[in-house]
Homo-oligomer: A and B are copies of this chain.
Amino acid sequence: MTDPLDTVFAALADPTRRAILSMLLEDDMAVTDVAEPFQMSLAAISKHLAILAAAGLISQEKRGRVKWCKLEPDSLRGASVWMQSFGQFEPVNLDAFERFLLGELADLPDDLTIDVDSTP
């Protein structure tokens, strides 16, 4: 009933949650360690993590008494593709996009050859 994009974008709309995602970019973390740099209560962070997990942006695995949080970058695909349908309007020659683009080229199928040189 509710579009996954709803929950993904809503999860991304909070700065605390985005900060958490950035932290998890470096490594998996326990809930307590995630909470440490923030000024709010542990319970609040626990809720934020639940929201991120519900959106599929992270996964949580309990090992012993600590619950490990792991980033799930795959979950951003849907949102990324959706946004792209707008982005293609403006030619994006942003650095980040170019790096991504060149990285992608290496993964194209072998039988595809592209010559960008405009003079025939």
Task: Identify the A interface with B (CB < 8 A).
Answer: 3, 5-6, 9-10, 12-15, 18, 21-22, 25, 71, 73-74, 76-77, 79-94, 96-97, 99-108, 110-119
Contact = CB atoms under 8 A, between A and B. Distances in A.
A120 to B, nearest CB: 12
Contacts of A93: 104, 107
B104 A81 contact: no
Q: How many copies does the complex hold?
A: 2
A14 B25 contact: no
A112 B116 contact: yes
Given A5-B18, A25-B86, A104-B97, A119 B110 contact: yes
A40 B91 CA distance: 35
